Structure 1
Amino acid sequence: MRPDRHEEGHAGERGEARERRGGRRERRGGGGSGGREERMVPRAEFRSYYGRPILKKPRWKAPHMPGYLYLGGLSGASSTMAALADATGRHRLALTGKITAAAAATAGAGLLVAELGRPERFLNMLRVFKPTSPMSVGSWILAGQGGFTAAAAASAVTGIAPGPGRVAGAAAAVTGPLVATYTGVLLADTAVPAWHEAYRHLPLLFAGSSLASGGAVGMIATPRAEAGPARRMALLGAGLELAVAGALERGVGLRESPELVSEPYRTGRPGALLRAGRALTVAGAVGTVAAGRSRAAGVIAGLVLTGGALCTRFAVLYAGHTSAEDPKYTVVPQRERRTVA
């Protein structure tokens, strides 16, 4: 009796399986090989089902998300700079910081709403407060920062209600550092390997970049005689940004597969952007040293530092995209964890 096609298919599959098992057997070589065993199976390639990534690529896109990251950091650093300038009697620098903080917070919120698609989505995030969620906590911090900086800037410009304006400025100085760094925590709380494994680096990297950005705008918009604190802030931020970015590129401080996980920050478009950001930051820091003697040098240094901060934010975004699209950045650390366990 002739078997049907279904049975023939199963027989063919069994034959192919036997052939594969035979090909996987280790064959002993002849006299020339000295009995050495030769593995016939090629090295495994990191593939996923149907050629699709294991992780979904983050939907955050440019320029909305990098712009939001930059503006949030600028607002946070500028509000801190304004409070310190107020306390030391540098009223022109304080005014620059308050206006910059309010404008950056407003523009950053606009980019975030544009990224979300509808304004009510941001309002919906304020319906609850969940301390274990970086998104929930960050939404409340951002809302507070926007309100405090707007009140402080309005009072400084109009001269109305100076007392409440100073209180709002002091409150913005508290929320400012949180706004500058919480986005690093937010990115690290995802499953994207290049972000998740860099949970120690991203908040510090964003803090340094934010300080450099705030100091840069302070140098650009403030007379040289009052811009001393802005120059020092820019130098401090540039140094921190360079140190953390260098550690991230080398994999220093990464727990698992440091050479592999840091690879997206060294190669391709994110690697090129991070190197460009480093070059601009170094050039801006050198120009900042000369800015104490020249107003023009301060303006140029501020613009160069701003370019470096933007390159860093774009590099972090694209590094996350790269690590999510390639399965090896997910598979290799998982295998290492399983081997250790």
Structure 2
Amino acid sequence: MVPRAEFQSYYGRPVIKPPTWKTPDVPAYFFLGGLAGASSAMATLAEIGGRPRLVRIGTLAAGLGAAGGTAALIHDLGRPERFLNMLRVFKPTSPLSMGSWLLASFGTLSGAAAASTVTGLLPRAGTAARAGAAVLSPVMMTYTAVLVADTAVPIWHDGHRELPFVFAGGSLTSGGGLGMVCAPPKDSGPARAMAVAGAGLELVAEQRMSSRLGMVAEPYHRGRSGRWMRAGKLLTAAGALGTLAARRSRVASVASGAALLAGALCTRFGVFDAGMVSAKDPKYTVVPQRHSHDHEH
């Protein structure tokens, strides 16, 4: 009898090189980019529905969120010129290249719209910039998920089907939550709808992803990353339920919106930390390979 082959890494060292991204820069970048994209979409919906206060809130949040996300990314990179260097190449097959151009384009448009809103200057140009940013908003909400899924990190790479939906849901939740915090209940109807839809999408996609990945999804349930994910689920669910009372109560609207924002932020930190654990522990790379080897034989 030939003994069963055992797959293990060299002296238990990581099989893949963990990403050099830092906390809190990168998870904050994930969160702020998604918040900016959702806020831009909310501003456009509010404009169609004739809710000028929510238009202003969404426009300013989009501009500030994009600026904050870009600042977090540049801080993680270490030097501003590194971000500018990424714009020297336009490569459609590279998520990093396309993400850099997307962030620069969306940031420019949303910043112009926010500046016009604050100063009152060039209102037509501001409206056009807001519309342009809204066109890019769905991609802003999901491209960071595509970016991490394109890496060799097992929990991110294997979750490529659901991760964009998790990020899209969290983005909608955070954008809607911010609208609920900043606008009175009579003006925040679109924000509440966005928040509830986002919460449902995020929670369902996250559950499906964990079930499908099996053992590879362990970091989502254990240790610090597991605590982040559990907090995200509880806050998101509580915030979504709170939208029922938020229709009539300003206090409930602020509390529910704050819970939704915090839930989306916790989930981003949980996904990031889980990726670091998945990259550093060789079993998440080795064991699936062993199962694949056994299946083939």
Fold-level match, TM-score > 0.5? yes
Q: How does 1:53-202 map to 2 (within 5 A)?
A: 53-202=14-163
In structure 2, how many angstroms separate the alpha carbons of the residues matched to 1:147 and 1:250?
A: 39
Query: What is the letter of the counterpart of residue 326 of structure 1?
Result: D
Give ranges in structure 1 of 5+ residues lacking alignment: 1-24, 27-40, 252-257
Q: Report the Cα offset of residue 47 of structure 1.
A: 3.9
Residue identity matched to 1:156: T
Aligned equivalents of 2:289, 2:233: Cα separation in 1? 31
The TM-score, its normalising length taken from structure 1, stands at 0.84
Structure 2 residue aligned with 1:22: none
Report the Cα distance in structure 2 between the residues aligned to 1:304 and 1:112, rounded to whole angstroms. 25
Counting only pairs closer than 5 Å after superposition, residues 1-341 of structure 1 correspond to structure 2 as 44=6, 47-251=8-212, 258-341=213-296
Q: CA deviation at 1:53?
A: 0.9
Residue in 2 aligned with 1:7? none
CA shift digits 1:168-224 (9 cap, x unpaired): 000000111111100000000000000000001111000000000000110111122
Whether contact under 8 Å (1:249, 1:266) holds in the other structure is: no
Contact conserved, 2:9 with 2:286, CA < 8 A, in 1?
no
Separation in 2, partners of 1:191, 1:122 = 22
Whether contact under 8 Å (1:72, 1:179) holds in the other structure is yes
CA distance in 2, matches of 1:236, 1:289: 13
CA distance in 2 between counterparts of 1:126 and 1:328 reads 37
CA RMSD of aligned residues (A): 1.6
More off after superposition, 186-195 vs 174-183: 174-183
Task: Please say which of residues 109-118 and 58-67 is displaced more in the overlay.
Answer: 58-67
User: How far did 1:333 drift?
Assistant: 1.9
- SS of 1:225's partner is coil
8 Å CA contact 1:248, 1:265 repeated in 2? no
User: What one-letter code is carried by the residue in structure 1 that aligns with 2:177?
Assistant: A
Which residue type is aligned with residue 148 of structure 1?
L
Structure 1 residue 328: Cα displacement: 1.4
Q: What percent identity do the matched residue pairs reach?
A: 55
Bigger shift: residues 291-300 or 157-166: 157-166
In the TM superposition, residue 337 of structure 1 has moved relative to its aligned partner by 3.0
Q: Which residue of 2 aligns with 1:15?
A: none
Larger RCO (CA within 8 A; separation ≥ 6): 2
Amino acid of the structure 1 residue aligned with 2:227: A
* Distance in 1 between residues matched to 2:55 and 2:204, nearest whole Å: 29
CA contact (8 A) 2:8 2:286 kept: no
Secondary structure of 2:186's aligned partner: helix
Q: Indicate conservation of the 8 Å contact 1:277/1:310, yes or no.
A: yes
Q: Is the radius of gyration larger for structure 1 or structure 2?
A: 1
Residues of 2 paired with 1:129 and 1:217: CA distance? 33
Give me the whole-angstrom Cα distance separating, in 2, the residues matched to 1:273 and 1:161: 43
Q: How far apart are the structure 2 equivalents of 1:261 and 1:42?
A: 22
